[in-house]
Every structure is written in structure tokens, then in C-alpha cells.
Chains A and B, each alone.
Chain A
């Protein structure tokens, strides 16, 4: 088992505040600081991802992507953001004002809330819930609410249809995701995200993607597929299919409220990638290859850098999917979930149960 004393749960800033301020005040300050830190992540992630998406997309298509705004288009996200902020916010006639403006906030909040239990490093986690996995599943469901409410309140039949399709898709694929999370919980024997990371300590081969022989790899691929669908990202984006339809549930949104959906989409992508990292790729743990000198060097690199490196690699895979695969039809999408992924997940669960019962992992 791992020596967790090497990985203290508190960080220097928190310790300093607890030492200087009286009890409740220190807690409050720490909470505010934690929220600010998460907000920073939420604010900066889309900036990085917008640039990355545009560049990666371009290079997959033998193009250059943005090159004018800043060095190799580095300031392009800023330009995009300013453009979105200055656009007029419009509300369709007959729309339910309160719900109409609540929906994007709900979507953005859901992705924001999941980030609070993600262990970015052993001392960079807002809170470690014993039932962290359960919390993730529950809160991610809130995002679907945002989508459905957006479609419902827009007073536009196309928005409503788009929202229903997105909602149906997200709810379906949430089942696969939950089953896969359950798989990891079963294997690692804990539902706390921090403990799940520690259950993968050791060499690279101890990560769940490899530790659960072969099936781990299958589970990883299934997780990638179902989270792509859960994110409503291409190739599973028929609800908004920008080249064929209008924007699905975002049809009636403009300006800053559209930007919120946009932001939620990118933060969700980061969130899904960080969950993949936590569950399958050893989270913040440095990769170890069993070669003492190399391992020491890799171990010296701070955990959150590994975390972000791994997460962004997973995001790259999402983008790779998006710019390679054609869209399936809606019925094919549902077939994939209910006739391929769900049975496969149950099978994996069964195998994992056997492995655990026989003490193989």
C-alpha cells in the first residue's frame, strides 16, 4: 500500500491561514480562496481550450488556424471573448425570462461544481468527499437540467427538439459513465477520488488502465466514447450539428448567455478529461517506470503538472475524435449506447467482480 504521508492533504497557503487566523475565520478565508482558485481554472480553461481546439482542428485538416491575433493566434480566445461579450443579449418573444437566463448559469455551475472534488494534486483539492464519485454523477446531472431548461424556455420548437435530443443522449450516456465509474469504485474499493488516485500508486502498470489487464484498456476506451457523447461533442453532436442544423438548444441564445454555454462546454470537456485522468491514468501521480534514476526525476515534477499534462492529452484525444469521425445517426447513437456500451459495461463489471473476489487486482 502507498505511504500517504508523502502526500499531505493540506497546502502551504491553507496551513498559513489556519495558523494566523482564528478557527472559523480561517475556514471562511480558505473556502473563499478555494472558490477563487476553481474560478480561475474555470476562467482559464476555455481560453486555453478555444485556442487549442482551433489550432488542433486546423492542423488535422492541413490548415494553419488562427495566425493573425498574437503569435500564432494566441490572443484569438481573447478576441472571441470580447466579441461575445459585446454582442447584444436577446430574448425571444414569449420566452420564460427567468428560466431562459437561469439555464446557461445552471450549465456553467454544474461543471464548476464537479471541479471542486477533482484532486488536481495531493494538496490541491477543495474537498475530498467519501462519496466523491456519487457527487460527480449527481452534479453532472445538473448540466442536463440546464440544457433541457434552455430548450424549454426558449419558446422555439427547434430549441426544444434540440434540447430533448441532447437531454436524451446525455441521460443515456450518463448510464455508461456511471457504470464505468462504478467499475473503478469496485476495483479500487473506494468512492473518494483522492483514494482512487492513491489506489493507482506504483508504476505505470498500476494505473487502472493497465492494472485491470486488457479490460482496463477497454474500459478506458468506453469511458472516452461515452464521455464524448455525454459532452455532446462531435461525432456525437447531432443535436447541434453545426454543419447541418442550427444550434440545438442554443439556437436562441446570443451574447454572454451563449458564452456561458460555450464556457460550460469547454469546462465540461476539461472535467471529463480530468475524471478520465483520475480514474484511469493515475491522477496527479507521476508516471513511474521502475527505473530508479528516471523515476526520481519524474517524481520531482509537481503532481498538478502531471495532472494537467494527462488531462490535456485526453482532451487532445477528444479533439482527435471530433476532427476525424463522421456523425452517426440518432438511432445509431442510441443503438451504440443501449446495445453495445451498456452490455459491455455490465460484462466489465462482472469480470471486475470476479477479479476482486479472486483477489487478482
Chain B
């Protein structure tokens, strides 16, 4: 800043003397000053128009009256609740191939995948363990999945009274 403040003659620029010089102009001029003023006023009026738009459109309000609208409240698609398995629409079977990519992607060791063999001796998903208490909802597992088999669900009432309640088995039998 200090070096820019002086020009080559070592004279202090008008702006440094505290003079009101509009952007992109070398010297103070009445026309420049008035244009600057008019533009400034215009931008202020624009801003006021924007906020007034919000004021007169209650439909744009984003606040949720939560406990009251519990029945109807739907979280936004981008909301990351907890992990859920995506199932095949026709058969209802999970898309997961038990490849273990998500397990490797997770920085917290939240996921454990136990594969088993099906009667045709192919590797299929046995159990999908998800330790919710360890999850930071970072979405890395979902991004790592090559089959679109997991997603972040939108449920948000996730509090539990006991830590063991947060050991979720997304697939396979419970302990």
C-alpha cells in the first residue's frame, strides 16, 4: 500500500490526501464526482429494491416452524442426514456389490462391509455396518461408490440416548 500511495514524483495522490476520487479516475472532477454519486445512489436503490422484494414475498421465507410442521417437513435434497443404501426399484435388492470402496474412502472407519458368497459362489453383500457416532457426514463414501449404491438420507431427527443405538446395520441381520 505504502509504495502505491505515492506516484513517481513522490507526490501524494489525491485519494491519499483524503480527497474523494472515483475509481478509475486520476483526478477529482465535478463530472466524475457527480457520476460517482449518482451511480452510488442507484446501487443503493437497487439493494433496497432487492430486500423489499423479500419483504413483500412471504413465500420466499425459508424458516421452518419445526415441531409444528413435523409431519410435512421434507428436508432439501442436498441435506446430508445419515447414510442409506440404495435399492433396486424392481427387486428391492441393494445395489451394493460389497466392493468395499466406501469402507476405504471413509476417513473415520465408520463403515464395515462383510461380504458373503451367494449359492452361485458370487461375492455379495452380507452385512453393512454403519457406526453413525463416528460419521462426520462428509459424503466421501457416497462419492467413492462406483455403483450409486449409497446415498445420504434426508432424515434429521438422529439423536439417541445411548451410543449403542448409533451402531446401525444398514443391511443383513442385526447382532
Contacts and interface: CB of A to CB of B under 8 A. Distances in A.
Interface of A: 56, 58-64, 67, 320-321, 323-325, 331, 335, 339-340
Interface residues of B, number: 17
Interface in B28-80: 37, 44, 47-48, 50-52, 54-55, 58, 60-63, 65
Nearest to B45: A324
Nearest to A317: B48
Contacts of A59: 54-55, 58, 61
Nearest to B62: A62
Contacts of A331: 18
B18, B47, B51 interface centre (most CB from chain A within 10 Å): B51
A289 to B, nearest CB: 24
B18 A335 contact: yes
A61 B57 CA distance: 11
Given A320-B48, A339-B20, 9 more contacts: A59-B58, A62-B54, A63-B63, A64-B61, A324-B44, A325-B44, A325-B47, A335-B20, A340-B37
Contacts of B63: 58, 62-64
Contacts, number: 42
A325 B18 CA distance: 23
A64 B54 contact: no
A132 B65 CA distance: 49
B14 to A, nearest CB: 12
B20 A323 contact: no
B44 to A, nearest CB: 7
Contacts of B51: 60, 320, 323-324
Q: A-side binding surface: helix, strand, loop or mixed?
A: helix
Given A320-B48, A324-B47, A340-B37, A60 B54 contact: yes
Contacts of B62: 62-63
A59 to B, nearest CB: 5
21 contacts: A56-B55, A58-B63, A59-B54, A60-B51, A60-B55, A62-B54, A62-B61, A62-B63, A63-B62, A64-B61, A67-B65, A320-B51, A320-B52, A324-B47, A324-B48, A324-B50, A324-B51, A325-B44, A325-B47, A335-B18, A339-B20
Contacts of A335: 18, 20
> In the complex, which of the residues A60, A67, A339 has the most CB atoms of chain B within 10 Å of its own CB atom?
A60
A67 B18 CA distance: 47
A124 B37 CA distance: 41
Contacts of B44: 324-325
Contacts of A62: 54, 60-63
A339 B15 CA distance: 13
